[in-house]
Amino acid sequence: MADVTVPAWVVARSFLWLSLTTYGGAQSAAIRREVVRRRGWLSEDEFLELRAIAMVAPGPNSPNLAILVGQHLAGTSGAALAFLAATVPGIAIVLAFALLSLDPRLGGASAALRGCAAAAVGLTFAGAVETTAMRRLGAMQLAIVVASAAAVIFLHWVLWLTLLVFVPISIALAKPAPRESAGA
Amino acid sequence: MVVWQLAAVFGLLSLLSFGGGNAIVPQMYADAVVAHHWVNATEFARFFALGRLAPGPTMNMSALIGYATAGFAGAVVASAALFVPAGLVVYALGRMWRKLHGNAWRDRIASGFAPVVAGLIWAGIPPVAGGAISLQAPGTIAIAVAAAVIMLTTKVNQALVVLGAGVLGFVLFR
C-alpha cells in the first residue's frame, strides 16, 4: 500500500465538483468513483476503511469522507480544504433556494415547495426501508430498530438518551467473536 | 443571545449525528420546533425538502433554520456548529485509525450502531410528515407515496424526484 500524496488543492477541487453534483444517498458512491476509479488515489480497501470510519463517526457521511480522504492524501491542510469544499457550496445553494422560494414575488414557489416537502416524506420512508432491509438485520436487531424508533416517537426520548440506552444493548447483542462471549 | 443558542443546539446535534445525519431529524425537530419555536412544523418540512433538493447533505437544512432564526449570522453559526464538531471527531478518528487496525471491537461497535440508527431514521418520518402531508390535501399523500415507490423500485436520482414533485405541487397547490 504505497501512500499516494496529492496537493491539498487538487483533492479539494475534486470534492468541490462532487459537492456540486451529488445528492443524498448517492454521495459515498460518487466519492468512491472519483477517488478510487477515476483518480486512483486510494485502493478499494483503503476507501472501504475510510468509509467505515466516516459511518461510525458522527456527522454526514460525505463531509466526513472528504476529511478522511483529504487527511490521507494531503494531511491536515488537505482535510481542512476538502471539508470546506464538501460543505460550503451545498450550504450556499440551499440558502439561495430558500431565499428564492420565500420571496413573495414568486407566488408559485411556495406551492412547488409544498410538493417537494411531500416527496421528501416519501424519500425518508424509502430511506428507512432501505437502511433496515439492506443490512440483513437479525430478529434481535430488528427489535432494536423498532424499540429505538418507538422510544423517540411515542416516549419522546431525546437523542442522547436513545443512543445511550440502545447502542450498548445493540453492541452486546452484535455477534460476538465465536471463541467466547466477551464479558465487559 | 439566540445565536449562542443556535450554536449550542446544533453543536450538540453535531456530536450526536451518528449514522449520516438523518438520525438527528427527530431531535432537530424537538429542539427547533417544539422547544425553541425557531421555525414551525411546515417550515421545518419545507427546509428538510430543500435540504434534499439541493446538492450536499440534507443536514444543510441547519443553515435554513439558522437563517430563519437570526439571518445570515444565524445561517453561518448553525451550519458551522452542525458540521465542525463532527468534523473534528472524524479527523481525530482518522488519525487513530492505524492503531485500531484489525481491532474486532471496531466492527462490533459499527454493527451495534446500525439498528439504532435505522430506528432513528424511522423516527424522523413523523416530524417531517407533520408539516408536509395531510388528509385534507390528498395530493400531498399521493406525492409522498409515489416518491417512496419510485425510490424503492428505480434508480432515479432523488433530486429529480423532488424536482418533479415541485412541478406537481406548482400545478396542484397554486
Grid coordinates of B74 = 444565524
Of B21, B128, B149, the CB nearest to A124: B128
Q: What ipTM was estimated for this complex?
A: 0.79
Would you write out chain A's pLDDT as a tens digit for each of its 184 residues? Answer: 346 789 999 999 999 988 877 665 557 777 888 898 889 999 887 887 787 788 778 888 889 999 999 999 999 999 999 999 999 998 998 898 888 876 766 667 788 888 888 988 898 898 888 878 866 778 899 999 999 999 999 998 988 899 899 989 998 987 654 444 444 3
Nearest 10 degrees: CA dihedral of A151, A156, A162, A165? -70
Q: Given a cut of 50, is residue B26 above it in pLDDT?
A: yes
For residues A101 and A107, give the distance between their C-alpha atoms in angstroms, rounded to a whole number. Answer: 9
The answer to whether A14 faces chain B, any CB pair under 8 Å, is no
Sequence spans of domains, chain B? 2-131, 133-174
Residues B58-84: tens digit of each pLDDT: 889 999 999 999 999 999 999 999 999
Å between A116 CA and nearest CA of chain B: 5
Of B50, B55, B115, the CB nearest to A22: B55
Greater model confidence, B45 or B103: B45
Å between B1 CA and nearest CA of chain A: 22
Please report the pLDDT score of residue B157 as a whole number: 73
Residue A163 CB contacts under 8 Å (≥ 6 apart), including other chains: B16, B18, B116
Residue B60 CB-half CA count within 13 A? 28
Produce one character per residue of A8-21: b if its CB has 16 or more CB atoms within 10 Å, e if not: beebbebbbebbee
Q: Kindly determine whether residue B91 and residue A156, on different chains, have CB atoms separated by under 8 Å.
A: no
pTM score, whole prediction: 0.79
